[in-house]
Amino acid sequence: MQSVRIETVETFVVAMPLVAVFSSGGKSKNVTKGVVVKITASDGSYGISSVDPSTRAVFPDRAEDIAATVREKITPAVLGMSPTNINRLSDIMGSLQDIQIGARAAVEMAAIELTCRRLGISLCDFLGGAVSDHVAFNGWVGELPAEDAALDAARWAKAGFQSLKIKIGGDVDADIQRVQAVRAAVGKAVNLRMDANEQYSVQDAIRLCDAIKDCDMQLFEQPVPRDDLAGLAEIRRVGGISVMADESISDHASLLKVIEADCADLVKFGIAQAGGIMPAVRMMATAEAAGLKVVMGHGFGLDMSTMAEIMVGASSSNILTGLECVGPLKVKDTVSQTRLDISSGSLKVPDGAGLAMDLDMEKLAEYTIQ
């Protein structure tokens, strides 16, 4: 392959309106922010990426912070380097001080996407190929009254979704009613997950598990605060429902702590939270070696970050069916030329080069705020 160098790294902070107000973990929003990065090489080839701020980050991780880090710290360090030497780029970024993990992920993802375009292969093929031609997605039910939650769940099931996540954590009794109503509405054919976003005590989590033991729940996501690994382990031991660590996973080191604490049956992370595509692949391998299934994705995201997680998820048989990278269902528009449609609950894994999509520069300009 002809030797090329990085000539420009363009960074955009995007504010995308949501289709509704979304509430989770006691917080609500009607706009989601993300960062789009485009790397252009000396031969005119380019790669694109997008990342979303993480609530798990050690350093401030607003979209504006990620963009500033890419512009002020990473870009000066990588200009003139080969965009196809991903390991060297990662080492350079790793040597910089106070770098948001999302900023590293954005640049690494764009460099890999550029490499894939130059090779004429998809990201999935770059990672060894898809283990299945199609991927399935996980729908969600918010913290709604039981009757409304049941109606919402029935709509997801009718659309074709075979797994759903129920948001809980506000009130134990209301949560019990919501879970029971959803199970009654969708029957036994749909897998149900529940996510407390760290809002439960150990005692309340165990009480919930006991009350819904007949609901055949697939997993219980992050019932207690992220640092309470002993509490997670107790719920796993007593509750009778598989426990998934989410907010407890912020990087590879925290994954190892979860494994050592023996406090989870599954772990969840996305590419940005892992620090990039290759770190995510390494974390997936570590989880598999420890006997833990992986749930891939995050709740919000633009089409590029979603497609990257689709392709990474499709490359492993240890990914739990029902990806949680469902951002395109929550946003009103897109900054890519073709909107990613996952409304049927499944998608054929694309085989186009890179992420098999491109930026719509007019839409990008419309939603760019910085």
Among all chains, which residue has been given the structure tokens 């009103």?
332
Decide if pLDDT at 59 tops 50: no
Best CA proximity match to 234, nearest among 207, 215, 216, 253: 207
Beta strands in 59-183 (DSSP E): 134-136, 139-141, 163-167
3-state secondary structure of 300: coil
Decide if pLDDT at 163 tops 60: yes
Average pLDDT, the chain: 94
Question: Each residue of 104-122: pLDDT tens digit?
Answer: 999 999 999 999 999 999 9
Decide if pLDDT at 340 tops 70: yes
Question: What pLDDT band is residue 298 in, cutting at 50, 70 and 90?
Answer: confident
Spell out the long-range contacts of 357-361 with Cβ–Cβ below 8 A and sequence spacing 24 or more: 357/303, 357/304, 357/307, 358/48, 359/36, 359/38, 359/48, 359/335, 360/334, 360/335, 360/336
- Map out the domains of the chain with their CATH numbers: 6-121+362-367 (3.30.390.10), 125-354 (3.20.20.120)
Q: Give DSSP secondary structure letters for 280-291.
A: HHHHHHHHHHTT
